[in-house]
Amino acid sequence: MVRLSITKKLLKEKLKSACKGYRIYRKIKKANNIKKEDPVIVFPYGDKECIIHTLTYLDQFIDKLMVKPTGVYIITDIDNLEIYTNYTKKNKIKKIININSIELNQLIDYYSCSDFFGNMFIGSIVLPQSRIGKEYIGFNNITKEDLIVKGVLGIREYTKASSTVGGEKFADS
Amino acid sequence: MLIHKLIGNIVYRRIKECDAKSIIEKNLSKLESSGTFKNRFIVIFGANWYAEFVMNYFNQHNIRIDAVIDNSDKKCGNYLGSVKITKPEDVMLEYKENALVIIATRFASEMIEQLKGMSYSKRKHVYVIKGLFTDERKRLKMQLFDMLIAKLKMSKGYYVYEKLVRKYGENTTFLVIPVRGTGDVYIVCAHLRKYLYEKKINNYVLLLPTISGRKIASCFGFEQTEVIPISEIVFLKDFAGFVGYENLNVKMMHWAQTKNDGIVSENFPFSDDLTMVDVYRKTVFDDIFIREKMKRELNEPVINEIFQKNGILENKTVIISPYAQTFMGLPLKTWDNIIIRLKKAGYQVCTNTGTKEEKPLPGTIPLYIDYKTIIQVVEKAGYFIGIRSGLCDILSEADCKKIIIYPKCINMENTRKFFSIVNSGLDRRAIEIEYNNEDDFEERVVGLIVN
């Protein structure tokens, strides 16, 4: 049983957080001159596999976009994301923008309540919190890779990569 | 409060307008009533999901589509309904004064430029479906009010929730079916009882957007239901997804939990060997998935009356269901040929009409049958032919010969897999066939009934 008063308070807090997320996003867009056709991928801390698969399929992701971007921007709260992105082809990633975890959660709150997110992708299968894709893993031989490539990046028909970014380096670290 | 209500209504309207099918129908019926289609070479530009609604409209109104064009090499060579998809240059390069190009895609401006390059004029030869997409400039402007709109929507969602909690109490669980589809309601209700038992949910209300949905729920014995407008359900869904279902007494009984969940709602299910039933099983029912059948009222006199009143023969009647929400209908000519052949073979033919807009096929007996008796009526008639629709989910319980038609559509392979009654295990005996525009299609369908 959840009391109405608590729900109302929760909604207020979430909206406040989303407003902050909205300001952060606008600030980032302005400061980096992000064009409307440039995809912005948000990587929250904690899902290494998701990062690796996303970066592995970055080329195919760009290929499927109708309007070709000048590059991809990444927003993250992970300090050393470069250890992964260094293995991607040059010039694909325009910039990695670091923000703290609180700001990143605010950004995800904004994403969750807003209507106009054509070019923002959350690189996670558990965030925002209503994402329930992980339930599919293991069912009908569905892998996490399938889920990320098809579900998060929206590449319905993809060519399986022979190796992931960084190859063996990140395989079981 | 008043301002809130006013702005809330604007948002309401926008959500209502999001029904692509009705937007397209509204656009095209305006053109039809003004006689625009007469003596025109009609072309659909862009073979996408929306083009199927356009094609469906023309099929239902018996208006010929002369060509379907698309720039994608992958799509060319496939069919949209009964028309082969070709490259724009193949059809349009030879100038046609009476051409009317209908566009229902986000890339209308690029397409118009392409047509201009082939000497067509926007004003004279092109019609872009209005109200389907917000144009880029408007979208950017709207982005400025992004948070204001979001706040209003979330508050509206909260008020819907508050109203429900005040009416039913804080201990009530609200099970929301946020879609109008008959098939969705059927699948949820057919698997709900065991789930409620296992999850120990005793005090609940099933929220549905349509009266027909409530009738289906009632056929399963679920009487704790309330019909609320789809717009309120959308607000509630967005609000619940934002605040988190774990923080509310709300359970969304649909696989697309919120609009921004990405993985489930748009991209994933259609691209793997998943059926609609699998998706419900994994995402809604946590694998607690035991099917229950609809309660059959032993209402022999009522069923006999339907047969006598309409002069229908037992075991020698084919009930046709030509209408569906997701799939396109067949051209009227195809139905005509099927009906003529069935009659020649000695069968009576009826059309199942769910609403006033769904007109009976020419030469058939119109039937409006309640969900409570439809299974028994079809069983007694003996035969069913229908476009894949929610009715097919209900009739998966019926013991008779059933032919389910899947008209060709974009991404056919995966869409058919996803909706398949046979693959999902709902009905292993149904015969599923694809409408492929081959000459022998009608003969094949009738052959399946006769043999």
Give residue A100's pLDDT.
96
pLDDT value, residue A173: 45
Look at residue B359 in the predicted model and tell me its pLDDT: 87
Which residues in chain B have Cβ-Cβ distances shorter than 8 Å to A160?
A: none
Per DSSP, the three-state class of B274 is coil
B134 vs A149, higher pLDDT: A149
Considering chain A, what percentage of its residues have pLDDT values greater than 90?
A: 32
Q: What mean pLDDT is predicted for residues A62-76?
A: 86
Of B136, B161, B171, the CB nearest to A1: B171
Beta strand B41-45 with B99-103: parallel, antiparallel or unpaired? parallel
Best mutation site among B71, B159, B242, B424 for testing chain A: the one with the most A CBs within 10 Å? Answer: B242
Q: Classify strands B79-80 and B83-86 as parallel, antiparallel or unpaired.
A: antiparallel
The second-level CATH assignment, the architecture, of B300-450 is 3-Layer(aba) Sandwich (3.40)
* Residue given tokens 């007109």 in the structure block: B359
For B188, residues 6+ apart whose C-beta sits below 8 A from its C-beta are B177, B253, B254, B280, B284
Full domain range(s) for residue A113: 4-170
Instruction: Give the number of A-B residue pairs with CB atoms closer than 8 Å.
Output: 137
Q: What is the pLDDT of residue B17?
A: 41
Question: Residue A140 is nearest to which of B249, B274, B414, comparing CB atoms?
Answer: B274
Q: Residue B12 has what pLDDT?
A: 47
Cα-trace Rg, chain A: 17
CA distances to A67, A99, A128, A156, B140 from A49, in Å = 28, 21, 17, 19, 34
Give the pLDDT of residue B176: 96
Count of CB atoms within 10 A of residue B31's CB? 16
- Interface check for B150 against chain A (CB to CB < 8 A): the answer is yes
Residue-by-residue DSSP string for B62-118:
T----EEE-S-TTTTTSEETTEEEE-HHHHHSS--TTEEEEE-STTHHHHHHHHHTT
User: Residue B66 burial by CB count (10 A; 0-12/13-18/19+): exposed, middle or buried?
Assistant: middle
More confident residue, A47 or B334: B334
Task: Please count the other Cβ atoms lying within 10 Å of the Cβ belonging to residue A60.
Answer: 15
- The CATH class that applies to domain B20-128 reads alpha beta
ipTM comes to 0.89
pLDDT at B190: 97
Q: How many angstroms separate the CA of residue B158 from the nearest CA in chain A? A: 8
Kindly state whether B202 is in contact with chain A, defined as any CB-CB distance less than 8 angstroms.
Answer: no
Q: Report which residue type is found at B14.
A: R
> Closest by alpha carbon to B410, among B114, B184, B76?
B76
Count CA within 13 A, CB hemisphere, residue A60: 18
- CA B373, CA B444: separation in Å to the nearest integer? 29
Do B191 and B290 touch, CB atoms closer than 8 A?
yes
Which pLDDT does position B270 carry in this prediction?
Answer: 61
**A151 vs B262: CB contact, 8 Å cut-off?**
yes
Question: Which residues in chain B come in under a pLDDT of 70?
Answer: 1-19, 134-144, 257-272, 298, 409-413
The pTM assigned to this predicted structure is 0.83
Task: Name residue B176's beta-bridge partners.
Answer: B207, B252
- Look at residue B222 in the predicted model and tell me its pLDDT: 96
- Say which residue the tokens 């469906």 belong to: B56
Structure tokens at B142: 């709207």
Give the pLDDT of residue A90: 61
3-state secondary structure A88-103: CCCCCEEEEEECCHHH
Contact B425, B324 (CB under 8 A): no
Q: Are B145 and B14 in contact (CB under 8 A)?
A: no
Asked if B266's CB is within 8 angstroms of A154's CB, the reply is yes
Are A22 and A114 a contacting pair, CB within 8 Å?
yes
Question: Closest to B146 (Cβ–Cβ): which among A6, A116, A118?
Answer: A116
B339-392 pLDDT, tens digit per residue, is 999 999 999 999 998 777 788 999 999 999 889 899 999 999 999 999 999 999
- Identify residue B413 by its one-letter amino acid code: E
pLDDT at residue A29 above 50? yes
- The answer to whether A130 contacts B261, with C-beta atoms less than 8 Å apart, is yes
| Residue B235 to residue B258: CA distance in whole angstroms | 10
Highest mean pLDDT among A2-6, A136-140, B28-32: B28-32
Q: How many residues are there in chain A?
A: 173
3-class SS at B214?
A: helix
As for how many domains chain A has, the answer is 1
Please state the φ and ψ torsions of residue B160, each to the nearest 5 degrees.
Answer: -65, -45
CA dihedral B55, B60, B65, B70 (to 10 degrees): 0
Helix (H) or strand (E) holding A111: helix A101-113
